Amino acid sequence: MTELGVQVSSSINTLMREFNIITHNLANVSTVGYKRRCNAFSKSLKAQEAQAGTDSPGTVALNATFDFSQGSIVETGRRLDFAMYGKGFFVIETPQGPLYTRNGTFRTNQNGQIVDSQGRTVAGEAGPITIPIGIGLSQLNVSSNGSISADGTTIGKFKLVDFEESENKLVPAGASCFRMPENIEPVAAEHIVVKQGYQESSNVKMVDELVNMIMVSRLYESNMKFISAKKEAGSSLMSVAMG
């Protein structure tokens, strides 16, 4: 395969990957705490083609990242729904190590511990947060710094962390959770507000994703036409050569 053919194939494969990213974002437009995945491949490729004045493929690489911008805060009134405003994450404890999430839709397990939707323990600053027997959920109050109390007695405090400039190194771990490489440690989150009875919506904007999908589809079609034109030109030359 020629160098040009390799570039065409690479562009098509990368556009297909970007299309999958966009459809994944759209599928999670209603997922609590979801952070959209994005990349600049199609936009960079479009700009490169416009500058070159051609529809031939470029050599731009896929650079997928996560957009950790704030999602909308929606009131639910549920006592174990928590939304964050500002930079930071809740910590979920698992046998494979801690996970980090903005999805604050929690519940209690049979031991009275606060857990996530999959039953994994939500970390407190002093360990698991346990609701004492006899304390109803309606009695729980969570302050803006994540401190949990009932009838004036402090029960625990959510462990809230931030990764500052290393945030872009987080990798997806499913269910709106992320994992961080072992050599990077989080710091205590500052300037963050916890709101009880609220959820943070997905930060996916459907209109933007649909516009991106149209762009990717058109670029894909353009590259496929480019391949078809090259094949036809090659066949014509072969026919002339064969007489």
> Residues 10, 30: one domain?
yes
How many structural domains compose the chain? Answer: 2
* Residue 6, H or E segment: helix 3-27
In whole angstroms, what is the distance from residue 22 CA to residue 26 CA? Answer: 6
Neighbours of 19 (CB within 10 A): 17
> Residues 192, 207: one domain?
no
Q: What is residue 98's predicted lDDT score, i.e. its pLDDT? A: 97
> Residues 44, 13: one domain?
yes
Q: Quote the mean pLDDT of the chain.
A: 85
Beta carbons within 8 Å of 35's beta carbon, 6+ residues apart: 66, 67, 68, 69, 71, 102, 176, 202, 203
Tell me which residues of the chain have a pLDDT lower than 70: 1-9, 40-64, 226-243
> Residues 101, 217: one domain?
no
> Residues 188, 155: one domain?
yes
Radius of gyration for the chain, computed over Cα atoms and rounded to the nearest angstrom: 24
The residue segments making up the domain with residue 128 are 73-200
Neighbours of 88 (CB within 10 A): 25
> Residues 189, 102: one domain?
yes
Between vectors from CA 176 to CA 121 and to CA 103, what angle results, nearest 5°?
A: 60
The pair of structure tokens assigned to 143 is 């302050």
Residue ranges of E strands in 36-103: 37-38, 65-66, 73-75, 81-85, 89-92, 99-101
Q: What is residue 240's predicted lDDT score, i.e. its pLDDT? A: 42
Q: What is residue 232's predicted lDDT score, i.e. its pLDDT? A: 54
